[in-house]
Amino acid sequence: MVSGLQVPRRGLGLGAAALLAMGAAPVPAPVAIPRSLYWDLPVGEGGWRVQVGWPETEPPPSGFPVLYLLDGNAHFGTAVEAIRLQARRGDVTGVRPGVIVALGYPTDDAATIMRRRQRDYTPPAAGAPPGSGGADAFLDALAGQVMPRLAAAFPVDAARQAIFGHSYGGLCVLHALFTRPGLFARHVAASPSIWWHDTAVLHSARRFIDHPPPGTAGRGVLITVGGLEQPPPGPVAPGEDAHTGRLRMARMVDRARDLAQRLAEMGENGPQVEFVTFAGETHGSVVPAAISRAMRFVFPAEMGR
């Protein structure tokens, strides 16, 4: 037993209790994901924690495709297992191996993470709330510091890099698409917070649609949303709770669908667009489904897709 650590017998599972009875007390140790590492990057206030997971297979001649994952503290493990499970049977799933790069923070404090992601993932906008609007600085650091370091350490395909974000992260993905479409080949905006600051991101969307920047055509955009992220249409029920009222005002499903439709209408001058609604999923529960679906979009076995 580790010195100074008391392992309580009450509440242990039967297996652990049996081990204790045999004198083989479990020794606490961090859980490690095979073929993964992390480094801390001195960026902004408090720095970033960059986690990387890579396949066990040999890289193709052009290198592995890459998915940059926002909210890395929460989503790294889910994404790594999703790509490994799907790529294992690529002949069935249509998914090939790739590298996951999760961008997070070197802390477990939820309040700190929430404050930092609100700043890093929201775009600059006139009159935006204090502590927001840092998406350009975030994307600059990603492109200028993380991407070069990854390319120096791993065989990656610079032409097949993608970005995934959920909620505020999805908002950041849209901002990246509208302002620097050449940075990523594929963009996955899961439950994007289009409602933020009176739908400020839609101003960028209109400019993007009316005057597509160079590098827009042929880029890929997947927008997803949970079916329960917006109450059904109809009159407001008497005594509706505040949370349901906020969902109604945010119009998560309608706004995600409308934006996907407008982008699709750009035709050959615009990106290739997919839109998916996950029935029965809330804003939180939809994340694993969105990550799973993103793997087929970001890592397709067909090289030309």
The beta strands (E) that lie in the chain are given as 36-41, 48-53, 64-69, 99-104, 156-166, 186-190, 220-226, 272-278
Q: Which of 132, 229, 281, 292 is catalytic?
A: 229
> Smallest Cα–Cα separation from 294: which of 221, 227, 236, 212?
221
- 265 is an active site residue: no
Q: Whole-angstrom Cα distance, residue 76 to residue 50?
A: 10
Q: Which of 75, 166, 187, 283 is catalytic?
A: 283
Three-class DSSP category at 151: helix
| CA R_g for the chain | 21
Angle at alpha carbon of residue 203, lines to 197 and 205, rounded to 5° = 115
Exposure b/e, 126-146, CB count within 10 A at least 16 = b: eebeeebbbbeebbebbbeeb
- 175 is an active site residue: no
- 167 is an active site residue: yes
Q: Which of 167, 191, 193, 292 is catalytic?
A: 167
> Smallest Cα–Cα separation from 164: which of 147, 185, 144?
185
- Distances in Å between the Cα of 44 and the Cα atoms of 88, 104, 105, 120, 144 are 38, 12, 11, 10, 13
Question: Catalytic amino acids?
Answer: 167, 229, 283
